[in-house]
Amino acid sequence: MLLVTCLVLVGVSSTLGLDNGLAKTPPMGWLTWERFRCITDCKKYPDECISENLIKRTADFMVSEGYLDAGYEYLGIDDCWLEKKRGPDGRIVPDKERFPNGMKAVADYIHSKGLKFGMYEDYGNLTCAGYPGVLGNERLDIQTFVDWEIDYLKLDGCYIDPMAMDEGYPAFGKMLNETGRQILYSCSWPAYQEPENIHPNYESIAEHCNLWRNWDDIEDSWSSLTSIMNWFGDNQDRLAKHAGPGHWNDPDMLLIGNFGLTIDQARVQMAVWAVLAAPLLMSTDLTTIRPEFKEILLNKDIIAVNQDPMGKQGLRVWKKTGRGSRARLEIWNRELHDDSFALAFVSQRDDGIPYAAEFSFEEMSLPQADYEVYDLYKDEKQRYLKSNEDFGVRINPSGVKFYKFVPKSKVEKSHSSRVATIDAVVNAVLNKD
């Protein structure tokens, strides 16, 4: 046991990763893209266009509705904030009608609320939506961002050769670092290489980026959500080991609160994103979100799983595919810093049939022990699982059951007196041999 512990520690400390003091746990915040896209017509869509208005309104709600308190601290603008042409001094310029007071004013407002400011650019000639990219103006644009006091930069990868990214993204990161301003660096680097079958150099990516999009943009549907989950599960042996404090895989934004997911499906995304140690970036209208969805986004116990300080990305440990894709069932398991485990039992069945089954410790990839089991969505009472029993689960169609398994020994320790705790520690140390 002691030997195993030592090996694990060595494994963790030898992982190289970006060391800019940021993203020790997966970043949490809000981003415009998935919900508000590239809506630029403020006359037709005054509440939805990418504008100072939208950002200020969202900042207000992030604070007043408890999102900031829950950990969502970054407020980010994605594409479509720019004028189509650079200014006479060569600088990028925010759209003059939609950001009439400039970007520094937006940043000041966001900071005055205790939030942090995220911005978007693209490493190529143009952004994906056709606005000026940074290529050829990297230093000037970074200086502009520093002048605006941004805290987070998502650097997309349209209009650039994916082969050039292995040098380009690190070079840009070095320039960011040299400004001395702490700016969280979100790279889209592997997301443009994976589909081209160029093997992304994840060692280098984790060394230069705080987070990185690996795969497709998420869209507002159950089929998009499950295809991304499946891709992360199928490729976990390559991906999971590169995640850790300071550097994270990013399966993309949370759809929760929008149009395409039911409540059960929204719960699936929140649970699986927590297991994946994924950035939690909402993209929804916080002024009109239904309370059932808001409750999912603000679930403290699930956020705690996502933000677990050990920072170990969880795995899809079991799956069963029935006839067609309709009966797909899976277990996702994340080990937490306090020897407990978060397990998501997901049913991808969309044929309306609920699922019930018993699972063995082996199927759950759970170390044999007695556990107290807590339903993180709080539909069920606390349960006890003995080391010689199977664990019974019922899951709604296209739904999830998400539990925390706390070893009984841990529970007793935390409930007993100080002396007893010391005894337990001594025993635990003795038992290791």
Q: Is 167 in the site for ligand NAG (CB under 6 A)?
A: no
Secondary structure of the chain as H, E, C letters: CHHHHHHHHHHHHCCCCCCCCCCCCCCEEEECHHHHCCCCCCCCCCCCCCCHHHHHHHHHHHHHCCHHHHCCCEEECCCCCECCCCCCCCCCCECCCCCCCHHHHHHHHHHHCCCEEEEEEECCCECCCCCECCCCCHHHHHHHHHHHCCCEEEEECCCCCHHHHHHHHHHHHHHHHHCCCCCEEEECHHHHHHHHCCCCCHHHHHHHCCEEECCCCCCCCHHHHHHHHHHHHHCHHHHHHHCECCEEEECCCECCCCCCCCHHHHHHHHHHHHHCCCCEEECCCCCCCCHHHHHHHCCHHHHHHHCCCCCCCCEEEEEECCCCCCCCEEEEEEECCCCCEEEEEEECCCCCCCEEEEECHHHHCCCCCCEEEEECCCCCCCEEECCCCCEEEEECCCEEEEEEEEEHHHHHHHHCCHHHHHHHHHHHHHHCC
Of 19, 362, 390, 423, the residue at the interface with ligand NAG (CB under 6 A) is 19
Distance separating alpha carbons of residues 211 and 26, to the nearest angstrom:
8
Q: Pick the closer one to ligand NAG by CB: 19 or 423.
A: 19
Q: Is the dihedral of CA 274, 276, 277, 283 positive or negative?
A: negative
Residue 180 interacting with ligand NAG (CB under 6 A): yes
- The answer to whether residue 177 forms part of the interface with ligand NAG (CB under 6 A) is yes
Residue 196 Cβ vs ligand NAG, minimum distance, rounded to whole Å: 15
Q: Which is nearer to ligand NAG, 124 or 251 (CB)?
A: 124
Shortest reach from residue 176's CB to ligand NAG, in Å: 7
Site for ligand NAG contains 253 (CB under 6 A): no
- Of 21-80, binders to ligand NAG (CB under 6 A) are 21
**Which range touches ligand NAG (CB under 6 A), out of 60-68, 176-184, 266-274, 294-302?**
176-184
If the CB atoms of residues 159 and 361 are measured against ligand NAG, the closer one turns out to be: 159
Catalytic one of 216, 217, 220, 338: 217
Supply the minimum distance, in Å, between the C-beta of residue 354 and ligand NAG.
49
Q: Which two tokens stand for residue 270?
A: 């929140």
Residue span 107-126 as binding mask against ligand NAG, x where in contact by CB under 6 A, dash where not? -----------------xx-
Minimum CB–partner distance for residue 180 and ligand NAG (Å): 5
Nearer to ligand NAG, 185 or 341 (CB): 185
Quick check: 20 binds ligand NAG (CB under 6 A)?
Answer: yes
Known active-site residue 217: yes
Which range, of 153-161, 238-246, 307-315, 333-341, touches ligand NAG by CB under 6 A? Answer: 153-161
Site string for ligand NAG, 345-384 (x = CB under 6 A): ----------------------------------------
Total residues at interface with ligand NAG (CB under 6 A): 11
Of 70, 111, 146, 159, the one binding ligand NAG (CB under 6 A) is 159
Q: Which is nearer to ligand NAG, 159 or 359 (CB)?
A: 159
Q: Which of 78, 156, 250, 252 is catalytic?
A: 156
Q: By Cβ distance, which residue is nearest to ligand NAG?
A: 20
Q: Which of 23, 59, 160, 297 binds ligand NAG (CB under 6 A)?
A: 160
Dihedral of the alpha carbons of 352, 342, 204, 166, in degrees to the nearest 10: 20
Compare residues 167 and 380 and give the one whose CB is closer to ligand NAG: 167
CB 312 within 8 A of CB 386: no
Give yes or no: 351 in active site: no
Residue 203 or 358 having the CB closest to ligand NAG: 203
Task: Name the residues that contact ligand NAG, by CB under 6 A.
Answer: 19-21, 124-125, 159-161, 177, 180, 182
Residues with catalytic roles: 156, 217
